[in-house]
Every structure is written in C-alpha cells, then in structure tokens.
C-alpha cells in the first residue's frame, strides 16, 4: 500500500511518542503534525516547565499519600504524575533510572525515601552521568538499600562498591575484585545521619505522627579511609567523587550506558546478564551514542537527543521492537482516557495492576531491577493487560474517551458510518500503528454485529458510543498495542 507523506510522518511521530513518552494523545499528535520532527524532539526534551501536583488535594483524600507508609499510595501518586505530566519524557527517564538503579521499599520498610530518590532522578536524570552517580551515591535510600552505612574505614562493606561497577555503570568483565574493594574504600564515611538509630527505625514498622522519617545524607570524615587506593588503574587518596570521575572516564561505562539507553528506547536487547557474552543488537548505534557521551561531557541529555534524532531510531525495523512495560502500558492507556479527575480510584488501580503485570513500582524484585522484554508477557500478565485496558476505557463520558468518539464521528461527512469505517477511524484516532491485516479483519468482523451506525437521535448516538467504545477496547487489548 502506497503511503502519503503525511501518513509516513504520522507513523514516525507515533513511534517517537511511544518511546519518548507513553504514546501520543490525539491532541499531541495534532500539534506535532504541524512541526518538523527535530522540533518535536526538542519540545519533548524541554524540561524547563515543572509539573505541579495538587498535593493538598491528594493528601486530603488519600492519607496514605501523605505518610507514604505503603507502596499503594506512593505508587498511585507516581502514576498520577505520569498520567498528568506535560513532560512525559522526564517521567520516562525516571522509569529508566528506577529500572537501572533499582531500589526497593520492601527492604527499606518505607516508601517516602524511594519517592525522594525518584524526585532526585527527576532533577538530575538528564544532566551529566558523573553528577547523577554522585547524587545516587549520596541518596539515603541507596545508602540503606546497599548497606553503605556499614561501610567503615577500618572495616569495609563491598556491597555498593560492587554494584556501582557491576550493575550501575560498567557491567561485568570491565573491572577486577580489587577494583570493587578499592571503590568501596573510596565510599567509606558516606552514610546517613545517626545510622545506627536509623537502621533500627527502618525495621520498626510503626506509625508516627508525620509519617516515616526522611533520612539525610552525612559524610563522616572520621570514618573515611584516607589511604591510597588504585581504582581502574588510577592511584591516589581517592574519595567517592574521585571514584565516580574515574568510572565515568572509562569507555566501558559509555558503552554500558549506551546499551541500556538502546535497550529502553530503541529495541529490546538480551537480558543484561547475557551482555558480557553477546554483542549489542546494533553495534554501530552503540558507537554513535558512545561518541556523543564523550563529545558532550558525559551528558545524558546529549546522548538522548542523539538517539531520538538518529536514523537508527527512526528506522522501520525497530518500530514495535519493544514490548511495553506494565507502567508504559498502564500510563499510556490512562492518558488516552483523559485527565484524572480527583478523587479517583483509577490511580490506585493503575499502580496495583502494574504490580499484577510484573512491575511493582518502587518495589523492583532485586538490585538487578526488571529485565523486561519477553519477560513482561505470559498468560497471566496478558489477561491483566486486557482487563485493565477494557475497564479504564469503558466509560464514554470520560473526557479522553468522549474526545476520541467525537473525533471518530468527525471523520464522516454525514451523521452515519458503516462498521468497517468505524474500525479504520478508531485506529486513526488512537494513533498510527501497524496492525496485522488478520487483526484488523477480526475487528471488522466483530464490529459488523452493530450494523449500520448513526448519531441522528439520542438513542442512535448511545448505540454509536457503545460500538465505538467496544472497538477502542479491542484495539488496546490487541497484541499490536502491547508493543512500542
């Protein structure tokens, strides 16, 4: 089938929004079609506008979002922010770092500090990788998660020293056991205020008047090992900042970060534990990102801009080459349904169903995070996806659903529409994506049961709404919708 220039542009933009956000709403697509592709990328990467949450309203109706004792309230608040944000790429980057620097409230027994870590990603997640790793190393949730409060000058704890090299920055095979020990020595004294007391309180799961404590970073100079250390071949009286500088200077670090960005934004790679044994899916793309890393002072934003504007990102063979994570699927569907009107249980439902689909926000399964890819899909999780999409888009009076129905109607030159056109118009309004002819034919076969449709009377209009909602629900439960 020959495609017009407008159709090609729409498909390219739809691909961009699926990867750099949670999918385009009809309004976002309308705006972007009048812009050059590079300008759309620049607009998505404009993080100057802060999202404003109605926290007073949220705290009034949802006490658990005030004290954040449970993962349900904290997760629901993050889902609300992701659905309502005007800068979806910023929240997408928070998901990226939450997956790479996995920290779980299951060990910390509180969610506020993990939400504080997500806020740290929001503030520092697109700057230099050096600065981000320093902020991560000072993050109280990470310190307590990987036991660096027990990393003392006379008696080191290697946990954080190991993970910053193995999982966060370089990957297996690019450092030695001695590098782990020496890096741990560099981070001695990096702790939280009153660590012994706070470690006890962390395990004391009792209510307090103002919710759980919010730990504060403290550098204990007296507890730091000031001796010479040799990290990745460089010797000196290194502190944590020096360790980060040395790590970020390595080509292996740039390659590891580039492969993670490719894995998250371009196409599913093999699970991370296989990376030391298998080459990247697209070595040339990794090299382009590595060059951007070094040419731009280790800037994550520059790497991201290089990626989103590259030919390898826009190539047709990487479209639909990623399975949407539960958070991507849930938030994208909720954004289609329209703005969340508070008070609403949908944000709790969204957070809960993410967990049922295999991605419990704020509670990754281990320090390795989620592997993603085909691991997101099995018979149980797919049923959860189908049920969620069907429920969240079931009400024709939701703002977003009503808007889609009106747009579907507007594509007819009269106030009547046959069911084949209904299916085609639904697909067009939902955003340009590649659907198999067999799937499309099945949709049309199902829609045929509604017969001739119109909206000439109130009863006929309600019948049209029912038909349109049914087709929309089927589209978002299709296998094609599960890929990005």
What pLDDT score does 1 carry?
A: 47
Are 181 and 229 contained in the same domain? yes
Are 305 and 224 contained in the same domain? yes
Residue 361: inside a domain: yes
Query: What sign for the dihedral angle of Cα 43, 47, 48, 52?
Result: positive
Pair 218, 192: CB distance under 8 Å: yes
Are 252 and 381 contained in the same domain? no
What pLDDT score does 419 carry?
A: 95
Q: Distance between CA 104 and CA 107 in Å, rounded?
A: 6
| Structural domain harbouring 273 | 55-318
Pair 362, 75: CB distance under 8 Å: yes
Query: What sign for the dihedral angle of Cα 298, 299, 300, 304?
Result: negative
Of 275, 290, 318, the residue at which a domain comes to its end is 318
What pLDDT score does 209 carry?
A: 44
* pTM of the entire predicted model: 0.94
Are 9 and 64 contained in the same domain? no
Are 105 and 151 contained in the same domain? yes
Residue 43: inside a domain: no
Are 30 and 62 contained in the same domain? no
Q: Distance between CA 193 and CA 344 in Å, rounded?
A: 38
Are 142 and 287 contained in the same domain? yes
Of 392, 424, 441, the residue at which a domain comes to its end is 392
Question: pLDDT, tens digit, for every residue of 370-413?
Answer: 988 899 999 999 999 999 999 999 999 999 999 999 999 999 99
Are 208 and 313 contained in the same domain? yes
Number of domains in the chain: 4
What pLDDT score does 439 carry?
A: 94
Are 180 and 59 contained in the same domain? yes
Question: pLDDT, tens digit, for every residue of 79-90?
Answer: 999 999 999 999
Residues in the chain: 484
> Does a cis peptide bond (omega within 30 degrees of 0) precede residue 270?
no
Question: pLDDT, tens digit, for every residue of 147-174?
Answer: 999 999 999 999 999 999 999 999 999 9
Of 270, 294, 318, the residue at which a domain comes to its end is 318
Residue 88: inside a domain: yes
Are 338 and 385 contained in the same domain? yes
Pair 98, 119: CB distance under 8 Å: no
Judge whether residue 201 has pLDDT over 80: no
Are 351 and 384 contained in the same domain? yes
Question: pLDDT, tens digit, for every residue of 276-333?
Answer: 999 999 999 999 999 999 999 999 999 999 999 999 999 999 999 999 999 999 999 9
Nearest C-alpha neighbor of 377 from the set 359, 390, 352, 350? 359
Q: What is the dihedral of CA 437, 442, 443, 444, to 10 degrees?
A: 90
Report strand pairing: 190-192 vs 217-219: antiparallel
Are 333 and 270 contained in the same domain? no
Nearest C-alpha neighbor of 247 from the set 345, 168, 346, 302? 168
Residue 50: inside a domain: no
Judge whether residue 208 has pLDDT over 60: no
């Amino acid at each position: 089938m020959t495609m017009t220039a407008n159709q090609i542009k729409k498909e390219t933009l739809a691909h961009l929004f699926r990867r750099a956000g949670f999918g385009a709403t009809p309004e976002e697509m309308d705006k972007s079609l009048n812009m050059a592709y590079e300008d759309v990328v620049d607009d998505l990467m404009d993080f100057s506008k802060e999202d404003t949450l109605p926290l007073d309203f949220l705290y009034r109706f949802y006490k658990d979002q005030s004290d954040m004792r449970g993962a349900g309230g904290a997760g629901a608040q993050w889902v609300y922010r992701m659905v309502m944000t005007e800068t979806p790429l910023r929240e997408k980057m928070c998901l990226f770092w939450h997956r790479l620097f996995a920290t779980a409230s299951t060990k910390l027994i509180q969610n506020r500090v993990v939400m504080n870590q997500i806020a740290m990603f929001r503030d520092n997640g697109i700057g230099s990788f050096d600065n981000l790793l320093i902020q991560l190393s000072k993050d109280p949730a990470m310190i307590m998660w990987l036991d660096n409060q027990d990393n003392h000058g006379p008696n080191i704890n290697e946990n954080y020293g190991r993970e910053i090299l193995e999982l966060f920055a370089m990957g297996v095979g690019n450092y030695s056991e001695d590098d782990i020990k020496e890096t741990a020595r560099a981070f001695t004294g990096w702790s939280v205020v009153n660590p012994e007391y706070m470690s006890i309180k962390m395990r004391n799961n009792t209510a307090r008047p103002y919710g759980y404590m919010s730990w504060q970073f403290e550098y204990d100079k007296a507890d730091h090992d000031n001796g010479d250390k040799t990290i990745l071949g460089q010797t000196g009286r290194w502190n944590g900042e020096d360790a980060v500088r040395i790590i970020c200077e390595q080509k292996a670090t740039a390659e590891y970060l580039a492969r993670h960005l490719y894995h998250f934004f371009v196409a599913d790679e093999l699970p991370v534990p296989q990376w030391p044994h298998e080459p990247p899916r697209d070595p040339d793309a990794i090299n382009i990102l590595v060059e951007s890393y070094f040419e731009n002072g280790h800037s994550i934003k520059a790497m991201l801009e290089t990626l989103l504007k590259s030919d390898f990102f826009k190539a047709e063979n990487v479209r639909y080459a990623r399975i949407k994570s539960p958070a991507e699927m849930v938030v994208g569907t909720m954004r289609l349904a329209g703005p969340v009107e508070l008070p609403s249980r949908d944000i709790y439902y969204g957070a809960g169903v993410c967990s049922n689909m295999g991605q419990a926000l704020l509670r990754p399964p281990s320090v390795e995070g989620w592997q993603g890819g085909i691991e997101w899909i099995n018979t149980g999780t797919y049923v959860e996806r189908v049920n969620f999409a069907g429920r969240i888009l079931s009400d024709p009076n939701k703002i977003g659903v009503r808007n889609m129905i009106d747009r579907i109607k507007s594509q007819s030159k009269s106030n009547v529409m046959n069911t084949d056109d209904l299916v085609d118009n639904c697909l067009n309004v939902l955003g340009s994506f590649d659907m198999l002819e067999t799937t499309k034919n099945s949709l049309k076969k199902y829609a045929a049961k509604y017969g001739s449709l119109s909206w000439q009377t109130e009863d006929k209009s309600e019948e049209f709404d029912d038909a349109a909602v049914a087709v929309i629900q089927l589209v978002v439960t299709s296998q094609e919708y599960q890929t990005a």
